Structure 1
Amino acid sequence: MMRMRRKVLCLDWDKRTVRLLVARVGSGRMTLEDAHAHRIPAEVNTDDPAALGGVIAAAMAAHRIRRRDVIVDVPRDKSVIARLPLPPTPIAELPDVVRFQAVKELPFPVEDAALDFVTLTADAERKTATEVLLAAVRKDVLGRIRETCAAAGLRPARIGLRPYANLVSVMHLPGMAERRVLFVDVGPALTEINVVHGGRLAFTRAANVSVPVLGDDDRWQSSRLVVVGGGGEQDAISGAIHDLVVEVVRSLQAYRATESNVVIDNVIVAGHTGVETELAQALEKRLALVTDLFDPTLPLGITGDRGAELRGFSAVLGLAWGLSTRGLLELDFLNPKRVVRRSETIIRRARLLGMAATAAAVGAAALTWSAYRAKAAELADVRKGMEDLRRVVRDARDLTNRSAEWDEWQYDAVWLDHLMILSRALPGPGREVIIRSLVCDSSSSSIRVDLIATNRERVKQFVDVLADLRAGGLPDEPQDSSRPKLYRVEQGSWVEGNTAEPGFSGSTQVMLRVVDVEEFHSPAAVNARKAERERFAREF
């Protein structure tokens, strides 16, 4: 089936800049559509949700961004991160165990925090874990993020962690997924220093270093604009670079104290303050390590000259990349991991209560009246538990029905995607081939295209491209031969003349059968879904 990719808005800010990114994600891919950075006026207090929200709303209005749901992140200095060794713990019980262990790690009450975690060490065969990475954020911090988004007319759908978003960005850089990378994200007041390796966040810390931002004015700036150098004393810049190098060296020493004999393979510097190039040179000289500037253009499939413009977008790009693949963005303080399948817990309790009720019924005749009343009270508890279970089952049945409706909608709402594919497959649209009419029919899973062309070879080229397409592919991309065909294509007869368009010699009709939609609507598939719903209704 050809899945519809969704559009998302990702948001990140620091003391001086708001970054907005719009992308289309899904099926393991992320396509960048728009990215803008906007300088926060000096008089705006970024800790004031109303004031900062107004800046974000103005930036969105200026760039005509009309999304409501937004993905945001929490900076490193607003979070507590710790590696927790655990006794072998069943995966399903990790949320409760991690919360219990967090009491000893947090500098504030666990009731005041939102907790999430990433499993670091696990035994797949025994389905247990022995080490996790704990991330915690105070609820009042999350509250200010929500208030800021609300002031901008936005609603957070996920709240991630900035170091983890940067990790996802590093994983998408060519050749970096399995290397041990020191990643330095430079900000005007706070620089985040991370070590990532093998898809895991091995070390992270925030360093408070004030960096003069070159081009420091209050004008609009976007990813399409190069920031022109403004004020800032060279001494201040040199001092900031010296302090940053010192903080990076300290961070490496702290990391090596936790993991001895480790070797850093690469250093990557990100940020948009204007000092990144000089900092990269200073780090390469001080550490004697290959040091590069963050450049996402290759994995994004865009021209290399935009690398400098996107150097400060590592976190929002990581948020977008993380949403392209299920489970990649593992930390979400808005929807943290909890003990799963509460319905199973209720079912187990109901079974135990049922056994107690059976024992009570067998021995009731020999009990005294007071004992009978006690058992009657237990039976009432059983009935209450069973009623709770029935409500859970009814909710599950409703969810199953809505899921079936969603499946139906997915297969009946794909025509816009197919129209896009047809437009990209046309050779010389408007000049050599013109579509006169196009009919999409859900009942027959077909698309009928009536067209005219300058010659029949152009029609053959159009038909051949469509016939070779594979599910999930596009006409101007390499096709994955392991995937099923997207269409079954039938071409009608070529009719010479009668086109009423100068230069067009004939007309024909092309009939496309959308394979996955046809299979979904086949009698066998419809009957299988109906049987599954009936089975669920009988069993529950």
Structure 2
Amino acid sequence: MPIAVGLDIGSEAVRAAVVDSSKAIPLLRRFVEMPLPPGAVQAGDVVDQGAVTEAISALWKRHRLPRKRVVIGIANQRVIVRQVDVPHLEEEELREALPYQVQDAIPIPVEDAVLDFVPLEEFGTPDGDLMLSILVVAAQREMVETLVGVANRAGLQVLSIDLQAFGLVRAAFGADLALGGDGPQALLDIGSSMSQIAVVRGGITRFVRILPTGGTQFTEALMTGASLSREDAEEKKRAVGVVPSGLPEGEDETAALRRLLTRTADGLIEEIRGSVKYYLTQAGEHSLERLVVAGNAARLPHLASRVARALGTRVEPVRVLDHVSVGRVHMTEPQLLELQPVLPAAVGLALWGSFVVPPGNRFPHVARGE
């Protein structure tokens, strides 16, 4: 696959990665970002289309990025990912029949949705019928068209819309996606306004859940509980963090702030634990082999350690740079390493189509700005 550009439209910034996948090891050519005005994107939804278009235009103009072969990620509460069992059909037949096969399994009218699927396993029924388990992705068409429209107005040609979780998995696991062991592994991305968890086994993404808690909720906990301004809450959040286990002791200001952050962390951890437990129960698995943690809010001091203790599994920071080579990105190595938590979305989107066994399908039929 030739050079592609992954576009990650987040709550705080738009980020772009240019990746050449024609190499034996994908080559990261550029990674750049542009801040967004507060409120322009909320929980993955574009609220101010003009502001987002302007930010994308400015980012492309400043860094002279390629305008073709752009892959945009989607992730919000208007995206549904479900496992569904359907009669076994050839891929094209199943794609045509997909709206009828999944209409009772998703809470979106199929006529208002963009649908895609990932084949998981074949199995037989007691009556001898051949069935197929698939992971269905349903995104509200209006939301998809808004994203494509924003990119088109910024002068970009959209190659595809991809579920952001699939991109995160591609960047976080690289070749280990198929070679990292027989058991399930997971990717947890804690973003500004939401978190995403994806479980991978046997080279395929088998479970995705988008959670409505992210770094913003930690900031707001300090604003409400300690009467801090947003700016002060952000600063205190990064300095104080949570405790690896238990609850903070003491009566000083730091302990009080840490208690607020730790309670918020525990709410998120319960959502994560519930999601993992659901997958493991449905799949008949006992535990995760490992959990890879990414996202800007994952930098919160000791949060990863608290997640590890709560889940009883090995937790590792994401290492995108283990899976790509780096070209002239106009950054020092320390700068690039500092950005690793926010690299996976844009880099993984730019890796769209580069996997022989893809960790997810890729909305091949949405509008492409042609």
Superposed pair shares fold, TM > 0.5: yes
* Residue aligning to 1:335: 365
Matches within 5 A, 1:95-114: 95-114=95-114
* 1:90–1:129 contact (8 Å) kept in structure 2: no
Instruction: Tell which deviates more after alignment, 40-49 or 280-289.
Output: 40-49
- Cα distance in 2 for partners of 1:266, 1:190 equals 21
* Unpaired runs of at least 5, structure 1: 216-228, 337-540
* Residue aligning to 1:136: 138
Report the residue type matching 2:60 in the other structure: M
Residue-pair matches, total: 315
Shift of 1:213: 9.8
Whose RCO is larger (CA < 8 A, sep 6+)? 2
- Cα distance in 1 for partners of 2:360, 2:307 equals 31
Specify which of 248, 260, 266 is matched with residue 242 of structure 1.
266
Say if 1:214 and 1:17 are closer, same or farther in 2 by CA, change over 3 A. farther
* Residue aligning to 2:11: 15
- Cα distance in 1 for partners of 2:183, 2:322 equals 18
- Cα distance in 1 for partners of 2:351, 2:279 equals 27
- Cα distance in 1 for partners of 2:121, 2:56 equals 40
- Cα distance in 2 for partners of 1:7, 1:274 equals 29
- CA root-mean-square deviation: 2.9
Specify which of 162, 169, 178 is matched with residue 160 of structure 1.
162
Say if 1:60 and 1:88 are closer, same or farther in 2 by CA, change over 3 A. closer
* 1:213–1:273 contact (8 Å) kept in structure 2: no
- Cα distance in 2 for partners of 1:230, 1:182 equals 28
The answer on 1:322 being equivalent to 2:352 is yes
Shift of 1:177: 6.3
Report the residue type matching 1:32 in the other structure: L
TM-score by length of 2: 0.76
- Cα distance in 2 for partners of 1:8, 1:67 equals 9
* 2:67–2:157 contact (8 Å) kept in structure 1: no
- Cα distance in 2 for partners of 1:311, 1:142 equals 26
* Residue aligning to 2:297: 273
Shift of 1:129: 5.5
* 1:171–1:199 contact (8 Å) kept in structure 2: no
Matches within 5 A, 1:4-83: 6-26=2-22, 29-42=25-38, 44-45=40-41, 46-83=46-83
Shift of 1:271: 0.6
* Unpaired runs of at least 5, structure 2: 124-129, 220-232, 241-256, 327-331
* 2:6–2:348 contact (8 Å) kept in structure 1: no
Shift of 1:276: 4.8
Write out the 4+ residue segments of structure 1 that deviate beyond 6 Å after TM superposition.
Answer: none
- Cα distance in 2 for partners of 1:90, 1:325 equals 21
* 1:49–1:151 contact (8 Å) kept in structure 2: no
Matches within 5 A, 1:81-230: 81-122=81-122, 130-172=132-174, 174=176, 176=180, 178-212=182-216
Report the residue type matching 2:347 in the other structure: L
Report the residue type matching 1:8 in the other structure: A
- Cα distance in 1 for partners of 2:175, 2:359 equals 16
- Cα distance in 2 for partners of 1:147, 1:237 equals 38
Instruction: Tell which deviates more after alignment, 41-50 or 309-318.
Output: 41-50
* 2:120–2:134 contact (8 Å) kept in structure 1: yes
Report the residue type matching 1:40 in the other structure: L
SS at match of 1:153: coil
